[in-house]
Amino acid sequence: MCRSKNQPFFTFVSAERFLGSGKYSHLKKKVKTQFVCSSCGANSPKWIGNCPSCNAWNTYHEEQQLAASAGHAWKIGEQENVPAKPIPISEVQSLQVDRMLTGDSEFDRVTGGGIVPGSILLIGGHPGIGKSTLLLQVAMAWKGKTLYVSGEESAQQIKLRADRIGGIQDHCYLLAETNLERILLEVQKLEPSLLIIDSIQTVHSSQLDSAPGTITQVRDSTTMLQRLAKETQIPVIVIGHITKDGSIAGPKVLEHIVDAVLQFEGDRHHVFRLLRTIKNRFGSTDELGIYEMNQGGLNAVINPSKLWLNQNDAIKSGNAVGATLEGQRPILIETQALVSSAVYGTPQRSTTGFDMRRLHMLLAVLEKRCGLFFGQSDVFLNIAGGLRVTDPAIDMAVLCALVSSLEDIELAHTICFAGEIGLSGEIRSVNRLEQRILEAERLGFDKIFISRYHAKNMDFEPERIQIRHVGSINDLYDEVFGER
- Choices 183-191, 208-216, 295-303, 357-365; region in contact with ligand TYD by CB under 6 A: 295-303
Strand bridging mode 260-266 / 272-280: antiparallel
What secondary structure letter does DSSP report for 388?
A: -
Shortest reach from residue 299's CB to ligand TYD, in Å: 10
The alpha carbon of residue 403 and the mean position of all alpha carbons in its chain are separated, in whole angstroms, by 34
Q: Which of 20, 296, 371, 444 binds ligand TYD (CB under 6 A)?
A: 296
Shortest distance in whole angstroms from residue 196 CB to Mg ion? 11
Nearer to ligand TYD, 299 or 414 (CB): 299
To ligand TYD, the closest distance from the beta carbon of 129 in angstroms equals: 4
Measured between alpha carbons, how far is 274 from 228 in angstroms, rounded to an integer?
29
How far, in Å, are 103, 120, 199, 258 from residue 237 at the CA level? 15, 6, 10, 10
CB of 262 to ligand TYD, least distance (A): 12
Closest CA to 132 of 99, 176, 170, 179: 176
- Binding residues for ligand TYD, how many (CB under 6 A)? 15
Told to check if 241 binds ligand TYD by CB under 6 A, we report: no
Q: Which of 38, 133, 223, 404 binds ligand TYD (CB under 6 A)?
A: 133
Task: Rule CB under 6 A: say whether 120 interacts with ligand TYD.
Answer: no
Q: Which does 388 bind (CB under 5 to 8 A by kind): Mg ion, ligand TYD, none?
A: none
71 vs 125, beta carbon nearer ligand TYD: 125
What string of DSSP letters covers 341-355? E-SSSSPPEEEESS-
For 263, residues 6+ apart whose C-beta sits below 8 A from its C-beta are: 123, 124, 125, 275, 276, 277, 278
Interface stretch with ligand TYD, choices 160-168, 342-350, 355-363, 450-458 (CB under 6 A):
160-168
Give the C-alpha separation, 385 to 267, whole Å.
9
> In whole angstroms, how close is the CB of 133 to Mg ion at the nearest point?
8
Identify any residues that bridge with 415 across adjacent strands, giving them in sequence order.
Answer: 447
In whole angstroms, what is the distance from residue 131 CA to residue 161 CA? 12
Q: According to the binding rule CB under 6 A, does residue 131 interact with ligand TYD?
A: yes
330 near ligand TYD, judged by CB under 6 A: no
Q: Compute the distance between CA of residue 200 and CA of residue 215 in angstroms, rounded to an integer.
A: 11
Q: Is 15 in the site for ligand TYD (CB under 6 A)?
A: no
Site membership for ligand TYD, residue 156 (CB under 6 A) = no
Strands 288-294 and 194-198: unpaired
Question: Is the CB of residue 226 less than 8 Å from the CB of residue 253?
Answer: no
Instruction: Indicate the residue whose CB is closest to Mg ion.
Output: 132
Determine if 125 is a binding residue for ligand TYD (CB under 6 A): yes
163 sits near ligand TYD (criterion: CB under 6 A)? no
Is residue 138 at the binding interface for ligand TYD, with CB under 6 A as the rule?
no
Question: Residues in the site for ligand TYD, rule: CB under 6 A?
Answer: 125, 127-133, 161, 164-165, 293, 295-297
